Amino acid sequence: MNLIELHSRPGLYLLLNDLDVKTEFSEHTLNWSEEENGKTGLLFFILSLIFMNGNVVLDNVMWTTLKRLGLDHEVGPHPLFGDIKKLVTQEFVRQQYMEYTRIPGSDPALYEFRWGPRAELELSKKELLEFVCYLYGNNMKPEQWTSQYQDVLRSEEQDEA
């Protein structure tokens, strides 16, 4: 584990897993509950949506997309996730995976989602783009997503610096 202080928020620390679960100790991984696995999957989907939409998603786009998946925050608690809106806008934000901010000067108020500092530290945009290509199938390659691929290259350059 690594204890990391967020440069964007001095005094705020994150405890990050430093193991590569693909290669190290793979037979000794933790078994998460169905709820935790589901939340992680939903988080990964949301972060993919943000990344694939230029690193920012308006809240109405987020809710419409989740509604298409059967996750409508307006119809009451979900059997696995409970209050979807609270999970996304409070829990994932509190965990620093996402930022949920009001767009300045918007009236009525508009909000947007972006990756949070924890997502930036824990996730690889390259692996995420490869995952999206896998979902699309048909031998899709990351290079076919021109703007996202350029973002991946910029991220890799920053990581090397």
Cα distance between residue 80 and residue 130, in whole Å: 28
For residue 30, the model assigns a pLDDT of 55
The answer to whether position 13 is within a domain reads: no
Boundaries of domain holding 152 = 124-161
Cα distance between residue 14 and residue 57, in whole Å: 25
Domain shared by 44 and 81, yes or no: yes
Under a CB-based contact definition with an 8 Å cutoff, are residues 60 and 113 in contact?
Answer: no
For residue 15, the model assigns a pLDDT of 66
Share of the chain above pLDDT 70, in %: 82
Domain shared by 115 and 55, yes or no: yes
Under a CB-based contact definition with an 8 Å cutoff, are residues 50 and 113 in contact?
Answer: yes
The answer, as to whether pTM is greater than 0.75, is yes
Domain shared by 41 and 103, yes or no: yes
Cα distance between residue 147 and residue 150, in whole Å: 5
The answer to whether position 26 is within a domain reads: no
For residue 23, the model assigns a pLDDT of 46
CATH of the domain at 93: 1.10.10.1210
Domain shared by 65 and 143, yes or no: no
104-135: per-residue pLDDT in tens? Answer: 999 999 999 999 988 988 888 998 899 899 98
Domain total of the chain: 2
35-65: per-residue pLDDT in tens? Answer: 777 888 899 999 999 999 999 999 999 999 9
Helix axes 59-68, 34-52, angle to 10 degrees: 130
Domain shared by 88 and 149, yes or no: no
Domain shared by 140 and 73, yes or no: no
Q: Which residues contact 142 (CB under 8 A, 6 or more apart)?
A: 126, 129, 130, 133, 148, 149, 152
Q: What is the mean pLDDT of the chain?
A: 85
pLDDT at 8 over 70: no
Domain shared by 118 and 42, yes or no: yes
Domain shared by 113 and 56, yes or no: yes
3-state secondary structure of 151: helix
The answer to whether position 154 is within a domain reads: yes
Domain shared by 48 and 107, yes or no: yes
Domain shared by 48 and 113, yes or no: yes
Domain shared by 112 and 41, yes or no: yes
For residue 21, the model assigns a pLDDT of 46
- What does the block give as tokens for 15? 């405890």
pLDDT at 146 over 70: yes
Q: Which residues contact 129 (CB under 8 A, 6 or more apart)?
A: 51, 142, 145, 148, 149, 152
The answer to whether position 38 is within a domain reads: yes
Domain shared by 47 and 107, yes or no: yes
